[in-house]
A and B are shown apart, each in its own frame.
Chain A
Amino acid sequence: MSDMKRLAQLMGELEEQLVVCMRCGMCQAVCPLFAVTGKESDVARGKLALLDGLLNKMFENPKGVYERLNKCLLCGSCATNCPSGVKALEIFIKARVILAGFMGLSATKKIILRGMLSHPEVFDRLLEWGSKFQGLFTKPASDILGTSCSRIASPILNERHFVPLAKVPFHRIVPSMNTPAGSSGIKVAFFTGCLIDKIYPNVAQAVLDIFSFHGIGVFIPEGQGCCGIPAISSGDAESFEKLLLYNIEKYSSADFDYLVTACATCTSTIKKIWPLMVNTGSSDDLKSKVEKISGKTLDINQFLVSKIGVKSQDEEKTSKNNDDAVKVTYHDPCHLKKSLGVSDEPRMLIKANKGYSFIEMPEADWCCGMGGSFNLQYYEISADIGKRKIKNVKTAGAGVVATGCPACMIQISDMLSKADERIAVKHPVEIYAESLKKG
């Protein structure tokens, strides 16, 4: 019992944020998880009540609460739509840190997070081995999507049609880069991110093509690390801090105008989570470095539209009357729209390519169900949420679905491939880059 008192004390840090929730229940309307399960502990109101319960020492042990807290996509739909302004996402992440610290990380998570992720060289090497051997275990499932389903039964792969690891990760193609600003007068640092590096190097390549077309100088440090979201969302503040320091070090060595990423999740982590989590007990020097970097961080779509001035093609003249145009729709990643308020820019970027005609899908900003490790832990629910997305994609009747986050790309590819849909998944920068090649 004295343990629970100690925990209540730790939770005290969240009290002022927790009391803001008035239990109106309006978050039920937007929670993708609750829409599938109908269970109160899955929606923000329930989770907040559970954290309140820890604060008020209602539990003999925190296990049940911890489990339910972790069953969450961290999509932020609740926080964005909460009329009372409850910062649910922030609360959930902080509570995960408190609880993981209190209860200890699971052994698997420790190996993955502490042993691999927080040592970028080890992580890179392991995944490279993985990419060499994966052909043995998987067979091509869908040539359009480029997904594979597992050839042999594997507990992690089970029903997944996952997009395979790239044969050569981006950091092997372009280990580092440092070019001066060209005609645009702008120089950016590019943060590749793990998924783009290891699964979608073609997206990174498209970004570089665009940068070179617009005369933008690029800085890519050698051996960049993970943004830290897998660590912090598992409550592993230690690994997170390591990665943070590592990255800050890498990016503080050069001068650039903006830090740009093509991964919605990395962008929102750097912009929102870095400053949030660095606040507790870090040195002023680190704080100011983090502030400086996250202040300069921009999503690639936003950067291209707002800083470079990329514009949509005039709809009248092009796509609408062009029968050859490829129909494309767009899925809003939670980490772009809900976390950063970026939703017009990727659409504008897509519309900048005359070869495509844009169709809005219903519920474009309904979460795809990926949620990082949520997908690994709750694959069935994740797939149920994903099916709703696929239904909406199909309603749009497009041949391509674009989205600004590699994690969403993986999930949507998996879902489309399993449903045998011949619809391709692309990043808006790929679509825009195609238009530059055509001249």
Chain B
Amino acid sequence: MTHDAIIVGGGIVGCAIAERLARAGLAVCLLERDVLGGAATAASMGHLVVLDDDTAELSLSAYSCARWRELAPQLPATAEYRRTGTLWIARDAAEMDEAARKRERLASAGVDGELVSPAQLALLEPALAPGLAGGLRVVADAVVYPPVAAAWLARRAVAAGAQVRCGVEVRAIGDGDVLLADGGRLRARHVIVANGCAVPELLAGVPVRKRKGHLLITTRAQPAVNHQLVELGYMQSAHGGDGESVAFNVQPRPTGQLLLGSTRQFDDLGCGVAPRLLRRLVARAQEFLPALERMTALRAWTGFRPTTPDHRPLIGAWPARPGVWLACGHEGLGVTTALGTADLLAAQLLDLPLPFDARPYAPARFAPDAELAHAG
């Protein structure tokens, strides 16, 4: 048989797309070489956050967070969706000015934020260090447990008629078909490549690089934290250059544990935990949460963010290969943006009205013949 769509990769992005296309009535087959919601999805923090450092990122993340809010009542309790909100923390007057600008940018996408004084900050989060300048509180942001959310999306896809096959590796993408590791071939009208950091294994020209991150989780203990806390300098760490960086980002887990993020580096492709970076991560977090000094670290792990040269995901047709679509390169925001990605890709594939401008994400910007495409 010929499927309408084969999706390669069962991370949160592939699962969201399978669910969306199956719901639209397509004959969908999702192929995952390992487990659903593993890889980057399992490593991640699951912060559902609107980011605004570029207008494209703002529209995709604001749209996606709204979609998560719509889905929330249906998510199973084990997906641990919670509206913690985000508290962006300013250390000085310059960062407070940045908080005000951020508030304006979020407002332009219909996302409310409130500026918080140092006194309000101390009330909202008593565990924060004294002497901070204030912050910006975005109550609509949330957190979710990504591997459960991904597996749940896949189950919804199955309920809508999709085939989901785990332990099946795609070796190559052919003309209207995919070649499996066991030598089999599956035919499809559309092949959607959503295999995270592994995209270049199948399509050599797609510029996705791994950007390693470390996370650490504490045992259950005080201090209590109420919001996902992120330093305003975070975006500088996320987008500022190719060097190694560490930014304060802490998430309260429903168990009373604290999940600490995060580091960023390109130069290390091994999955091992680097004690040197963990020390930097903890030291950074202690500047904001001094009581961490008395807490116990339970586990640390690493993951790889699939990153593109301009830090925007690739969502849409891959011009170098007719019938091949990309949904990859979501870097550190792919849990959030999986739902918007699925809607945008489905709209393009099914010729429906686009939920927002697709051009900033068009893979054509990196296609070998990109210049020709632009000239045309």
Indicate whether A and B interact: no
B contact set with A: CB distance below 8 Å: none
Q: Which residues of A contact B (CB under 8 A)?
A: none
